[in-house]
Amino acid sequence: MLAPEVKALLEFINSQPSFPMSDVTPAVLRESAKTVGGAVEPVFKVENSQITIAASDSEPGQSDPLRVRIYYPENAKANGGALLPAVLFYHGGGFVMCDLDSHDGMCRTLCNASQAVVVSVDYRLAPEAHFPAAPEDAYRSLLWLHQEAETLGVDANAISVCGDSAGGNLAAVLCLLTRDRRGPAIQKQLLLYPVTSPNCDTDSHHKFAEGYFLTREQMQWFWQHYLGDATDAKTPYVDLLEADLTDLPPAMIITAEYDPLSDEGRLYADNLKAAGNTVEHRCVPGQIHGFCSFSDYIPQGRDVLCSLFKS
């Protein structure tokens, strides 16, 4: 059963005018995703910075500056200079929309809950930058954070990755990339209702295809914009359900009961376990895709974010 506050939110969302995705442009969606007022949690300090290093020179745009926003928790104020753990965060938005501002509230909550330095990454978006731009930006951000760790007050051996939805895909893909490229070690992967496959054909995709905030049609549209004309949609850096998942960091995976992505998140958790990794999977009853972003309306969203750091 839908949680009462979720049901009320969906009634409002579903009462608004809707249009076929074929008539929607990325610009229109990005405008709709801009931050709407609401309470934000105070943290000790927030800094804006940029990454100028490149992961490689083989992919266009690799040397372009990449914006990041760094959140410091209260314990950074009085820790005597001790290095803190860090969480690299990748926002959701179907690889097409959202940015540092849209997920500012979530990052503040993560910062307070984890008492770690949270680094939110403004990776390149599709369709202006198709795959593999976003995962390469994710890898760049890991190299940069590891390289600059001491300057930033971060323990280079205690870096976790986190993301919601498409950002969950990027966080998980980053774990594959750093394993395959022998990059910096990742301590944990924390995935909130992650996108794990472009197929959009699980039972939950069909059962919750419409009326539950995220639709199956939207996911297909997002994938088309992200992949463009790419012929390698089955690469493990796109389709995580087709990947070799051995030797990966411990994972915490959160899915939502009424989410088209629920089954693919569960399948990814099952595949990680089958490959011998440490995995904790929790499907939150009564919730929809993106509920952690609606903490003003759905208090359980904040509770779930905080729970990521209690085990």
Map out the domains of the chain as residue ranges.
Answer: 4-307
Q: Determine if the peptide bond prior to 127 is cis (ω within 30°).
A: yes
Please tell me the distance from the alpha carbon of residue 38 to that of residue 256, in angstroms, as a whole number.
23
Amino acid 200: pLDDT: 96
> Are 33 and 94 a contacting pair, CB within 8 Å?
no
Q: What are phi and psi of 77, to 5 degrees?
A: -75, -30
Give the model confidence (pLDDT) of 180-219 as tens digits. 999 999 999 999 999 999 999 999 999 999 999 999 999 9
Amino acid 36: pLDDT: 53
Which residues in 75-98 are b (16+ Cβ under 10 Å) and which e? ebeeeeeebbbbbbbbbbbbbbbb
User: What are the start-end ranges of the H helices in 92-251?
Assistant: 104-114, 133-147, 149-152, 166-180, 203-207, 216-227
Active-site positions read 165, 259, 289
**Domain spanning 4-307: CATH 3.40.50.720:** no
More confident position, 60 or 253: 253
> Are 26 and 218 a contacting pair, CB within 8 Å?
no
pLDDT at residue 59 is higher than 70: no
Please tell me the distance from the alpha carbon of residue 80 to that of residue 267, in angstroms, as a whole number.
44
> Are 119 and 141 a contacting pair, CB within 8 Å?
yes
| Residue 301, burial from CB neighbour count under 10 angstroms (0-12, 13-18, 19+) | buried
Please tell me the distance from the alpha carbon of residue 170 to that of residue 174, in angstroms, as a whole number.
6
Give the model confidence (pLDDT) of 263-304 as tens digits. 999 999 999 999 999 999 999 999 999 999 998 889 999 999
Are β-strands 117-121 and 84-90 bridged in parallel, bridged antiparallel, or unpaired?
parallel
